Amino acid sequence: MARINFQVDEIDQKILAFLVKNARMPFLEIARECGVSGAAIHQRVKKMENAGVITGSRLLVKPEALGLNVCVFICVSLAEANAYTKVIDALRKIPEVVECHFVTGQHSLLLKLYCFDQDHLMKILIDTIQNIPGIGKTETLVSLDQAIERQVWVKDYNYNSKSSAAASSKKKK
């Protein structure tokens, strides 16, 4: 995971909090809420985009609306450590895989997939994922319910760097 070298100040936090709640919120409305000009909001958002703090905005579609009723997590163990790049390249070609994390612990990768039903899952698992050279074994976890779904929190989040921690301790004095 890349480190971002950008200091998010209080106004940036407010901007991010508004955009996380509604990415389509007009900059002029955010400007009014923050007490700055619309141009200032535009400049700050552009700086955060350029720094990689904001990685884009997107339309979110509920998988169930497309008939994708089965959400699964698949833990993948690699057969050889040097297979990582080739396995990731093969996984990128599987549209059902919506997330892939390189993790610590017993397994190497944690995948998140959406499938239409159990038959679709079995086909993807047996005919596709388990046939990728470099994959040693898999463990499948079926999600029964997604109890929490949200974007990263922004408001009142003051721990971005050592300087933030120092600033926070100064405020307490």
CA distance 19 to 7: 18
The predicted-structure confidence for 106-120, as pLDDT tens digits, reads as follows 999 999 999 999 999
Q: Domain residues for 28?
A: 8-58
45 and 77, same domain (yes or no): no
Task: Give the alpha-carbon dihedral of 118, 121, 127, 131, to 10 degrees.
Answer: -140
Match 């995971």 to its residue by tokens. Answer: 1
What would the mean pLDDT of 74-84 be, rounded to a whole number?
Answer: 95
Overall size of the chain counted in residues: 173
78 and 133, same domain (yes or no): yes
Give me the number of domains the chain comprises: 2
53 and 81, same domain (yes or no): no
**Residue 121 maps to a domain:** yes
Which domain CATH number covers 85? 3.30.70.920
The predicted-structure confidence for 118-165, as pLDDT tens digits, reads as follows 999 999 999 999 999 999 999 999 999 999 988 777 765 444 444 444
What pTM does this model have?
0.75
Cβ–Cβ under 8 Å, residues 138 and 75: yes
The predicted-structure confidence for 1-16, as pLDDT tens digits, reads as follows 556 678 889 999 999 9
- Residue 152: half-sphere exposure toward Cβ, Cα within 13 Å: 7
